[in-house]
């Protein structure tokens, strides 16, 4: 529940900026900083990546995000945005938004200390009267931990938790279109979060911090489980020689109750899997649905290779993987199942060649033509629009139906 306590209302004087985003050169921090700056706020970014800070200050995006680079140039020219590796930046604004990465470790354990640690690095610059807004997806209870931490530092700072819910690739529209969930322990904190996020949208949803922490995790887990359901149904149909995509489209035709059944495909990327594991850990690893979804989604590359092995002598073949990003149209390879597919195939096939028109961070990638020419068998792993209409005489495994020729393997 939100307390009736009004808490800290004094806003610090003589501030150069309205908002500082800690981790503001990242995939969600930068679009958010741009959105605030484009709505007239004076925005600072504090980020530990020197390369990303230099890239942003030079007017270039460190990663692809449609529509973002033109806004970046505009807000830099207007003097509304500056990025820095200097933690002193944190003391320059009334609103301090934290949006650093919160991954699980190699044993799938969440790191509850990621945000307190990041704040520890710049705590000397926090000042009384600021509103500290956690925007990262957090392990439930981290907001309360941060409240305790700032109180322990003797600071009069309100804390809010206002989770990010955009999808990469849609950030510059969704930031203005999606409702913003805002939460704080006090009415003053809630009012101030409302006033900041009210710059982006009039659709604000108020919750308690504990509700909002779960709301964010539930959102991602819900999506992950839906993808897993589709993937399991895909495998079931495929085992019987049936085309899941024909079945899915048929059952959803003019039938709204099934309209949200997703297509089969890799459910990957930096959020859905790790947030499902965060929620599982939060519930003492008692999360059969979440763990089943993980087994299905993470098992899909194994299933594909298993099916291909039944049809082809992989050991004598060169396999080409098309699309290494975690989803269509993206340049982001974080937690991409294309790389898991590559690892499995590298063990089974004679050779594996990879290509992707968007990814710029993998020196091993080859041009599409070279992969098409040199491969005996192709797998579409990320259904980039560039692959639609692809013409090849090689066999193609295409669980996404990117080529419109069915999804059977």
Binding site for ligand NAD (CB under 6 A): 22-23, 25-29, 46-49, 52, 99-102, 118, 121, 136-137, 164, 166, 168, 270-271
CB of 334 to ligand NAD, least distance (A): 7
- In the complex with ligand NAD, which residue's Cβ is closer, 26 or 383? 26
CB of 288 to ligand NAD, least distance (A): 23
- In the complex with ligand NAD, which residue's Cβ is closer, 86 or 373? 86
- In the complex with ligand NAD, which residue's Cβ is closer, 134 or 237? 134
- In the complex with ligand NAD, which residue's Cβ is closer, 23 or 290? 23
CB of 172 to ligand NAD, least distance (A): 13
CB of 160 to ligand NAD, least distance (A): 15
- In the complex with ligand NAD, which residue's Cβ is closer, 270 or 323? 270
Q: Which residue is nearest to ligand NAD, using beta carbons?
A: 26
d(CA 338, CA 268) in angstroms, rounded, equals: 9
CB of 343 to ligand NAD, least distance (A): 22
- In the complex with ligand NAD, which residue's Cβ is closer, 223 or 408? 223
CB of 349 to ligand NAD, least distance (A): 31
- In the complex with ligand NAD, which residue's Cβ is closer, 26 or 44? 26
CB of 155 to ligand NAD, least distance (A): 18
Look at the block and give the residue holding tokens 């989770």. 163
d(CA 111, CA 106) in angstroms, rounded, equals: 11
């Amino acid at each position: 529940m939100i307390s009736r306590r009004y808490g800290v209302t004094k806003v610090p004087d003589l501030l150069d900026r309205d908002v500082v985003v800690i981790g503001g050169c990242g995939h969600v921090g930068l679009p958010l900083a741009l959105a605030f700056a484009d709505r007239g706020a004076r925005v600072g970014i504090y980020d530990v990546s020197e390369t990303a800070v230099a890239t942003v200050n030079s007017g270039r995006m460190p990663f692809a995000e449609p529509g973002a680079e033109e806004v970046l140039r505009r807000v830099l020219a207007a003097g509304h945005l500056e990025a820095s590796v200097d933690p002193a930046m944190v003391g320059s604004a009334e609103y301090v938004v934290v949006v650093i990465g919160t991954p699980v470790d190699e044993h799938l354990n969440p790191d509850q200390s990621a945000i307190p640690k990041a704040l520890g690095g710049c705590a000397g610059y926090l000042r009384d009267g600021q509103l500290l807004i956690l925007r990262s997806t957090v392990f439930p209870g981290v907001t309360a931990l941060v409240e305790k931490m700032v109180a322990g530092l003797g600071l009069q700072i309100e804390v809010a938790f206002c989770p990010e819910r955009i999808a990469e690739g849609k950030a510059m529209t969704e930031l203005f279109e999606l409702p913003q969930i805002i939460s704080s322990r006090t009415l003053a904190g809630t009012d101030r979060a409302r006033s900041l996020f009210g710059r982006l949208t009039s659709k604000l949803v108020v919750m308690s911090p504990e509700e909002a922490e779960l709301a964010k995790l539930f959102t991602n887990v819900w999506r992950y489980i839906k993808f897993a359901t589709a993937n399991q149904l895909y495998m079931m149909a495929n085992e019987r020689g049936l085309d899941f995509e024909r079945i899915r489209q048929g059952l959803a035709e003019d039938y709204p109750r099934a309209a949200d059944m997703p297509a089969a495909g890799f459910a990957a990327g930096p959020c859905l899997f790790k947030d499902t594991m965060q929620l599982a850990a939060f519930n003492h690893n008692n999360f059969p649905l979440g763990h089943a979804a993980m087994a299905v989604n993470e098992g899909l590359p194994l299933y594909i290779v298993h099916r291909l092995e039944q049809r082809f002598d992989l050991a004598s073949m060169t396999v080409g993987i098309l699309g290494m990003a975690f989803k269509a149209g993206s340049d982001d390879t974080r937690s991409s199942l294309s790389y898991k597919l590559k690892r499995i195939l590298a063990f089974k096939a004679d050779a594996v060649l990879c290509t992707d028109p968007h990814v710029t961070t993998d020196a091993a990638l080859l041009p599409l033509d070279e992969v098409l020419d040199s491969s005996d068998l192709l797998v579409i792993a990320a259904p980039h629009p560039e692959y639609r209409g692809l013409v090849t005489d090689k066999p193609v495994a295409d669980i996404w139906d990117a080529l419109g020729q069915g999804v059977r393997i």
